[in-house]
Structure 1
């Protein structure tokens, strides 16, 4: 290669890398900082994070939407790899009579690398019971079929409510709520739902190691894999350590 061309290439590579860096610089969305593995949908290229981690800001000032779903993001904790979200259908129905029966987050999370944290508590909305439920179940201000009352109940351990639900012969919908939540009165339902619940993520690649090596974390859609963008413009499988191809 001609010496002048080599020199031009050496000059251009850092400039190209800098342009890529600007595209994926951490961005603000309300009071949230959006960075890898999340990316700002509509304002950043999708390679700035994982495809299903797109966050869309709401012009009304409402919490941003996650991956064009019904989930809105209240907080992102990058050090613990978890995110607090709430379901708009539930939060928009303070009685719980309609929203809880339609709660279904599994389809949203199926391909997203996000999972419902086991640290959450479980809130049950139950109706159409064939027998009287336990005394600690609180009656809700709504009715099931044939005017049957509905009840709300919070379990303390996973699977704890199964036996009680079975013995009362109820139809129940379970919803995750934040760790440490307490249910003392039926009116607490709306506040618990608005507080949201924890989702956890685990994505391929060690972003911290990439950052420490002077690189920036990216997603390669062609290879469906993590890549570390290095100052010379190259994309490496893990870090910008010398000798890694």
Structure 2
């Protein structure tokens, strides 16, 4: 083989390889930029494990943790119900949510209990139960929040916070969790109206791979090809930016 042609062909091969490497590095660096924390209105900053649909790529968050930015509010959909994210506590993997119907409907009427995918979310601590009953044939003797918009001349719907209350004369009962931190207690609940209680919201704990080590090393967490990834300024790593294990290394043999 002609020596000049040999070196020319090798130079071309090396050029292609290094061009691919450069493009790969640039694309990963772009992912680091794309997965920067995002804001949605006046809500909390959104970052891993959450990602904003139509604004970020799904690789920036954990599967099923996508949210939408709706009317300047971050909204999380759980079992086809929408919940406004009031706050996110990244350090202990929890978030405070409230039924979105309480913010947009004149008469919010949750029709079923909160249904959670236990592999993703679980109810947090410090919760109290707030009950809503529909189509009751009689009114109770204890204080309630009557829902005139969901009642008729013969059937009554109302809400209450009495655990000993009976719903035997009603067609359905919905249990709404209410967060009891930040000064909220049975006395303050009794002074709120029905919609204010729903807006109090409740705490959810989430389950997703921990991001703290990646973040402490200067990276941003993501999830690509069903695997946790730490996006760094130079490239993607498996765990942290200084672990020396990059994603998608090339082997060059000359």
Give the alignment's TM-score, normalised by structure 1.
Answer: 0.73
Q: 1:120 aligns with which of 115, 123, 127?
A: 127
**Contact kept? 2:137, 2:156, Cα under 8 Å:** no
Q: Which residue of 2 aligns with 1:84?
A: 96
Q: Which residue of 2 aligns with 1:29?
A: 40
SS of residue matched to 1:227: strand
**Distance across 2 between alignment mates of 1:71 and 1:9:** 43
Change (3 A) 1:165 1:232: same
Change (3 A) 1:129 1:43: closer
Q: 1:200 aligns with which of 198, 201, 205?
A: 205
The answer as to 2:223 corresponding to 1:213 is no
SS of residue matched to 1:21: helix
Deviation of the 1:83 alpha carbon: 1.9
Deviation of the 1:45 alpha carbon: 0.5
Q: Which residue of 2 aligns with 1:165?
A: 166
**Distance across 2 between alignment mates of 1:92 and 1:215:** 38
Report the count of equivalent residues.
225
SS of residue matched to 1:15: helix
Change (3 A) 1:10 1:144: closer
**Contact kept? 2:84, 2:97, Cα under 8 Å:** yes
**Distance across 1 between alignment mates of 2:128 and 2:203:** 10
How do residues 105-144 of structure 1 correspond to structure 2 at under 5 angstroms? 105-106=114-115, 109-110=116-117, 113-127=120-134, 133=140, 135=142, 137-142=143-148
Give the alignment's TM-score, normalised by structure 2.
Answer: 0.71
Deviations 1:152-175 (A, max 9, x none): 2225xxxxx2x5436x55442111
Deviations 1:15-65 (A, max 9, x none): 33321211111111112311111112101110100132222223x43x232
Q: Which residue of 1 aligns with 2:3?
A: none
Deviations 1:76-104 (A, max 9, x none): 222232222222334444555xx13x244
Change (3 A) 1:139 1:240: closer
**Contact kept? 1:115, 1:201, Cα under 8 Å:** yes
SS of residue matched to 1:51: coil
SS of residue matched to 2:190: coil
Report which of the two structures shows the higher radius of gyration computed on alpha carbons: 2
**Contact kept? 1:178, 1:192, Cα under 8 Å:** no
Q: Which residue of 2 aligns with 1:226?
A: 228
- Gap regions ≥5 residues in structure 1: 156-160
The answer as to 2:74 corresponding to 1:73 is no
SS of residue matched to 2:39: strand
Change (3 A) 1:132 1:7: closer
**Distance across 2 between alignment mates of 1:141 and 1:105:** 20
